[in-house]
Chains A and B, each alone.
Chain A
Amino acid sequence: MPSKVENWKSEVYGSEIREHLMEFAEEGWDAIPEDEHDAWFERFKWWGLYHQRSGQESYFMMRIGTPNGVIESGQLEVIGEIAKEYATGPVDNPEFGAAYCDWTTRQSIQLHWIKLEDVPEIFEKLESNGLSTQQACGDSWRNIVGCPVAGKDKHEHIDAWPVAEDLHEEFKGNDDYANLPRKWKVSVTGCDQGCGQGDINDLAFEPAEKDGELGFNVRVGGGLSRKEPRFARDIDVWVPPEQASDVAAGMSALFREYGDREDRFNARIKFLMDEWGPEKMRRVLQEEFVDFELPTAGEDMRDQYTYNAGHDDGHGDHVGVHEQPDGNYYVGLDVLVGRMGADDTLELAELAEEYGSGEVRLTQRQNVIVTDVPEENLDALLDEPLLEDYSPDPHPFMRGSIACTGSEFCSLSITETKNRQVRYARWLKDNVDLPDGVEDFHIHLSGCTASCAQPQIADVSLRGMKTRKDGEPVEAFDIGLGGGLGEDPHFADWVEMRVAADEVPGYIQNLLATYEDQREDGETFREFVAARDEDELQDLAEAEETSYDDPYMHNTKMTWYPYAEDDDMNASPAPTDGSGQPLPSDD
């Protein structure tokens, strides 16, 4: 029997949701029939609107999909203006202020506290500037990710940006692929560094050579969620760039027809890959979903992959100053946990126009890149005060930090995340010396098993949990070690479980001291972890309290907003009307 969500989707889904959304927005929050809330909120996701968690009713997270993270000249200013005007909530965030933009691990943008009544104006502003929220969430083609400097990278073999752009044009608003069993995440990589992170996507195009021609090998079935992480598997298919769209159409049609619509927990294509294996996946694709002979896989470049590969060569995370093939430079700036205040976003937009081409790009490590900076403008850009906060040469603990949205807004998260990771990074920077030669150290913090911060592919993985301390429940983390991508990707091994949140920095401090003390010459942290068995890993370090102070140890999910002075659920102003005034309760 199809799931309830499938029944809602069969009634109204895809592009047609928009007219209903606009009607509700026109009439106001109260116009959504109470007994249809769940159905409409599920559908609104297709247009990039995600109803915020309990205690924040009537407010939405809005996601803007920017394929490959490319924000064209003029667009960042629009995004900053929208954030400033519409994404201000009832209470400021103590670290980030009143309004801010989140740069996500899928090179998208998230704004919070969006009111339904403001959606038509926001859509008009976005769309008149070439931006859209279409299919940013929901069961369809999500934002296409890739190497963030595609077309501007010296390591590039194929310019993946036109391919990603073609896929975006073809599959956004395409009714044939609008209603899939579940989300559909696609990555296109054109460089030999592996920074498209294809391994953790449903469908990955990775650079490969066949008979002297450059194209892509195809991998299928990657993903990190629900304690069921999978790396995408090689289905032995090579495709030239001009046919990438045909293969993508075939694969997403295969998913549409064979994905599980009865159990959403089993719906992602990684589970179909578990069931079928790569040979059957290829066979069904060939026999039923493409009308040309699929070439077998070409010679890939995975042995050259450096991105998140556990060693410090290559362009790494794109932070810093790097020369483009055209002689200009791109300047990658570290945005701690991916959150940038609206005023800072507007200033960055100005700097990109003044010193570069106006284009800015988002990375899958939640950072930003100003592209096309002529050499003569570099010094002046690097002297700008904004770059003191968003550094092109950050401390490893700052540049290595990733955090998901967390209990601030998300229904699924167990713990507070972004503000905590900011505090972790600052404390570690001030109190812990990295062993000599370690320039790159990734700490990814995810509030739950959905794994939006991609914890399994970090040196230190933190996943939201609870424990008891002096008998009282407190927020905690499971700690994993040694994950990463590269030629031989590896998920982190979960080593310490249920560590109280205020003891995590002490654990990392002790862990790094052990690493420094015991490592062999030149042994990377990932190699150090890989060389040890489970018992040895558990003996590496103890968790302990330090001078680190954590203000979010209580159950932040029980609050209406964790940083409000009166954070009790009953103190919530939500739901509110279009001007932010509380609506009368039915109770």
Chain B
Amino acid sequence: MTTDVHQLDDGAWISVNDSREINVSDLWLLARHEFCDCEMADFLAEGVVEVGVDYPDIDARFAGRCIQCGTEGVTDWLTVGRVIDPEDGQFYGVVPESVHVPRKRTRLARPE
């Protein structure tokens, strides 16, 4: 089956196969990023802006703020988890507070 990914409720969370998997309000540590000038951005996710699938990764861009320097904006693409076997649709989420490296591109899911 295909993996169904979207953001809902004004970008409050990401649904993967009709299961709420990623919420806003987590802090994400970003390395090798262009979000702000901090070497390691301490990024508060306030809203999901876009979601995408780049098998097996589920990716998202978040609106939010680095709570170290205060820069506001939208991140590049972050991998929020993986669906390794599309047949069973099982989602394996990443740990937000571990270190993540944003990417410039992914395959867009349908617009929300």
On A, residues with C-beta under 8 Å from B are: 1, 3-5, 34-38, 41-42, 53-54, 57, 225-227, 262-265, 407, 410-415, 448-450, 465-468, 473, 476, 497-498, 555, 557
Contact = CB atoms under 8 A, between A and B. Distances in A.
Given A38-B6, A54-B20, A498 B12 contact: no
Contact of B111 (A262, A410, A450, A466): A262
Given A35-B17, A414-B46, A465-B44, A265 B67 contact: no
Nearest to B90: A587
Interface string B101-112: 000000000111
A4 B18 contact: no
B67 A4 contact: no
Which bracket fits the contact residues of B? 20 to 34
Given A263-B112, A412-B9, A414-B24, 10 more contacts: A5-B112, A34-B19, A35-B18, A36-B18, A54-B23, A263-B111, A264-B10, A415-B25, A448-B24, A468-B42
Contact of B47 (A54, A449, A555): A449
A415 B46 CA distance: 11
Interface in B4-48: 4, 6, 8-13, 15, 17-20, 23-25, 27, 42, 44, 46-47
B21 to A, nearest CB: 9
Contacts of B27: 466, 473
B80 interface: no
A311 B42 CA distance: 41
Q: Which 8 A-B pairs have CB atoms at the shortest separation, nearest pair first?
A: A411-B12, A412-B12, A557-B25, A37-B18, A414-B25, A466-B44, A54-B20, A411-B9
A42 B6 CA distance: 12
B78 interface: no
A414 B9 contact: no
B56 interface: no
27 contacts: A3-B111, A4-B110, A37-B18, A54-B13, A54-B20, A226-B10, A264-B10, A264-B112, A410-B12, A411-B9, A411-B13, A411-B20, A411-B23, A412-B12, A412-B24, A414-B25, A414-B44, A415-B25, A448-B46, A449-B46, A449-B47, A466-B25, A468-B67, A476-B67, A498-B70, A555-B25, A557-B23
B49 to A, nearest CB: 7
A555 B24 CA distance: 11
Contacts, number: 86
A450 B11 CA distance: 11
Interface centre among A37, A227, A412, A415 (most CB of B within 10 A): A412
Given A3-B111, A497-B70, A265 B49 contact: yes
B8 A38 contact: yes
Contacts of A555: 25
Contacts of A449: 46-47
B103 to A, nearest CB: 22
Contacts of B42: 468
Interface centre among A41, A57, A410 (most CB of B within 10 A): A41
Given A414-B25, A465-B44, A467-B67, A35 B12 contact: no
Contacts of B10: 225-226, 264-265, 412, 450
